[in-house]
Amino acid sequence: MSTPGDAQNRDEVQDGEESQVEDVQASAAQSGSEDQSGDDAKSRGDAKSHGAAVGLQGDKITIRGGIPLVGRIELKGAKNLVTKAMVAALLGESPSVLKDVPNISDVRIVRGLLGVHGVKITDGEEPGDLILDPANVESAHFADIDAHAGSSRIPILFCGPLLHRLGEAFIPDLGGCRIGDRPIDYHLEVLRKFGAVVEKQPSGIRMSAPNGLKGAKVELPYPSVGATEQVLLTAVRAEGITELKGAAIEPEIMDLINILQKMGAIITVDTDRVIRIEGVDRLEGYQHRALFDRNEAASWAAAALATEGDIFVGGARQPEMVTFLNVFRKVGGAFDIHDDGIRFYHPGGELKPVIIETDVHPGFMTDWQQPLVIALTKAHGVSIVHETVYEQRFGFVDALVEMGATIQIHKECLGGQACRFGQRNFNHSAVITGPTKLHGADIEVPDLRGGFSHLIAALSADGTSTVSNVGIISRGYENFITKLQLLGADFDLEG
């Protein structure tokens, strides 16, 4: 492995998020070389310096609002499962086949990072099929890894698999949405417990496992999705037994466990957030159809409600969305469950205010609150959203206030139980007073889900809005422009 000594100095590891624009630009530039499936290090290494490329689907969209979204769209696999499933392929001794992979920039980033580590990735027969062949996994050149710095949070999950395969790993500075500090202390602590030696360097983290990785007893201070995945991806090949307490149990994690079991892992999910893993010597590739994207489903459901529309979300399923469906119904939305998807619609009548507290699964997901807030601006009365997962997930509401919404943000824990942010001066509770009519404005997308909520705001507003920086949305929403067209939205793209 080449050393990162010549790299430019960056901030502390957990502060390493680059500008979102650069992030989208880098991934768009990278998409130009995606078909080369990992064997053209030069073009990959240059990806970041091609920053002049524009966002994947245009940077600015002008929306003439007030038209109900009506029609049918189809989901693919969940962003928050697919990217981890791709990393799991590193653990197999034979190729894996992942189905229903969405064409989003987060997938392209992980594809590029696997490619620079020698994983050969090709498209399969059906659209959305990926074949991942880890036969020639190798240490990557620093420049190739560094080209992915600031692009995503997924690289931290490469650690366990790379330590098993190569005895060493180098992880670039991480990216992802700016919705809080998003430290990686749990991840590093977990890896140390397995026996990894962790060394922070100016441009990333270097790890080694001189004595191999051994099963460990781990207790997470908070049921972190990423740290739970870190334990799973490391423990399956570690020597001996791992016991994880305080695990996250999101459906995407359960689907990752399905994949690992197909590969040959032995994993038991007990009650009370305890997961036990018996390490095995060898894992094979898997064949798997990814769980549908329930965050995308909830986003389109929120769009149907706010625009007084009617959207059939093909591929959505009830079991993973029960909590969302309860709240959707309480606000005044209607849904019909079908074998092949869920129809979400505004049944007429007034929308009602609700009190929501975001939480880990099986609670109301943090990723659902941002899109749903637009419908709450139209509800008759006072709604409260208490965000308990991320400390800074209300950055998107300034634009909504500019559009006419009445939303106050508070530092106190409102509308529910005290959470870990209450005494720490974080603006993490929102009070939304409705109904208000939104009017068009020029707004800028701050993060992925906040960006989708801005789209909904513009689609449901009176008049014309210009939403800039929409390339960020393509990190997690496949073909959202085409879907908007299919649903009858009136807009123009620039950029």
- Which residues are part of the catalytic machinery? 177
Q: Is 200 in the site for ligand EPZ (CB under 6 A)?
A: no
Of the listed pieces 63-71, 223-231, 330-338, 395-403, which binds ligand EPZ according to CB under 6 A?
223-231
- In the set 31, 80, 151, 234, which binds ligand EPZ (CB under 6 A)? 80
Q: Is 224 in the site for ligand EPZ (CB under 6 A)?
A: yes
Place of tokens 């650690």: 159
The amino acid present at 60, given as its one-letter code, is K
DSSP letter, residue 435 = -
- In the set 72, 141, 153, 330, which binds ligand EPZ (CB under 6 A)? 153
- In the set 117, 165, 182, 346, which binds ligand EPZ (CB under 6 A)? 182
Q: Is 183 in the site for ligand EPZ (CB under 6 A)?
A: yes
What's the CA gap between 309 and 307, in Å, rounded?
Answer: 5
Handedness of CA 321, 256, 110, 101 (dihedral sign): negative
Residues 6+ apart with CB under 8 A from 349: 332
Tokens coding 92: 């197999």
DSSP letter, residue 135 = T
Site string for ligand EPZ, 272-301 (x = CB under 6 A): -----------------------x------
Q: Evaluate the omega torsion of the peptide bond into residue 155 and state whether it is cis, within 30 degrees of 0.
A: no
What's the CA gap between 442 and 453, in Å, rounded?
Answer: 14
Site string for ligand EPZ, 161-180 (x = CB under 6 A): ----------------x--x
Q: Is 222 in the site for ligand EPZ (CB under 6 A)?
A: yes
Q: Which runs of consecutive H residues, i.e. helices, occur in 335-447?
A: 366-376, 397-402
- In the set 13, 227, 267, 455, which binds ligand EPZ (CB under 6 A)? 227
Measured from the CB atom, the residue of 195 and 246 that comes closer to ligand EPZ is 246
Measured from the CB atom, the residue of 303 and 365 that comes closer to ligand EPZ is 365
- In the set 187, 317, 343, 346, which binds ligand EPZ (CB under 6 A)? 187
Measured from the CB atom, the residue of 127 and 222 that comes closer to ligand EPZ is 222
Closest CA to 157 of 268, 46, 235: 235
Nearest distance from residue 210's CB to ligand EPZ, in Å? 24
Burial bucket for residue 210 (CB in 10 Å: 0-12, 13-18, 19+): exposed
- In the set 430, 438, 448, 481, which binds ligand EPZ (CB under 6 A)? 448
Nearest distance from residue 439's CB to ligand EPZ, in Å? 27
Burial bucket for residue 150 (CB in 10 Å: 0-12, 13-18, 19+): buried
Q: Is 105 in the site for ligand EPZ (CB under 6 A)?
A: no
- In the set 225, 306, 351, 399, which binds ligand EPZ (CB under 6 A)? 225
The DSSP bridge pattern shows strands 442-444 and 464-468 to be parallel
Site string for ligand EPZ, 241-270 (x = CB under 6 A): -------x-x--------------------
Question: What are the DSSP calls for 162-225, one per residue?
Answer: HHHHHSEEEEEPP----SS----HHHHHHHHHTT-EEEEETTEEEEE-TT--B--EEE-SS--H
Measured from the CB atom, the residue of 313 and 461 that comes closer to ligand EPZ is 313
Nearest distance from residue 332's CB to ligand EPZ, in Å? 25
Q: Which runs of consecutive H residues, i.e. helices, occur in 413-490?
A: 448-460, 480-486
Nearest 5°: the CA angle 110, 77, 186 is 55
Half-sphere exposure of residue 43, counting CA atoms within 13 Å on the CB side? 16
CA 323: distance to chain centroid?
Answer: 19
The residue count for binding ligand EPZ (CB under 6 A) is 28
* Residue nearest ligand EPZ (C-beta atom): 226
Site string for ligand EPZ, 337-376 (x = CB under 6 A): ----------------------------xxx---------
Note whether 113 and 148 are within 8 A (CB): yes
Nearest distance from residue 78's CB to ligand EPZ, in Å? 9
- In the set 11, 185, 219, 340, which binds ligand EPZ (CB under 6 A)? 185
- In the set 344, 390, 394, 480, which binds ligand EPZ (CB under 6 A)? 390
Angle, nearest 10°, between helix axes 225-235 and 159-166?
A: 20
What's the CA gap between 77 and 478, in Å, rounded?
Answer: 10
Nearest distance from residue 227's CB to ligand EPZ, in Å? 5
Measured from the CB atom, the residue of 184 and 458 that comes closer to ligand EPZ is 184
Q: Is 445 in the site for ligand EPZ (CB under 6 A)?
A: no
Contact footprint for ligand EPZ (CB under 6 A): 79-80, 153, 177, 180-187, 222, 224-227, 248, 250, 295, 365-367, 389-390, 448-449, 476
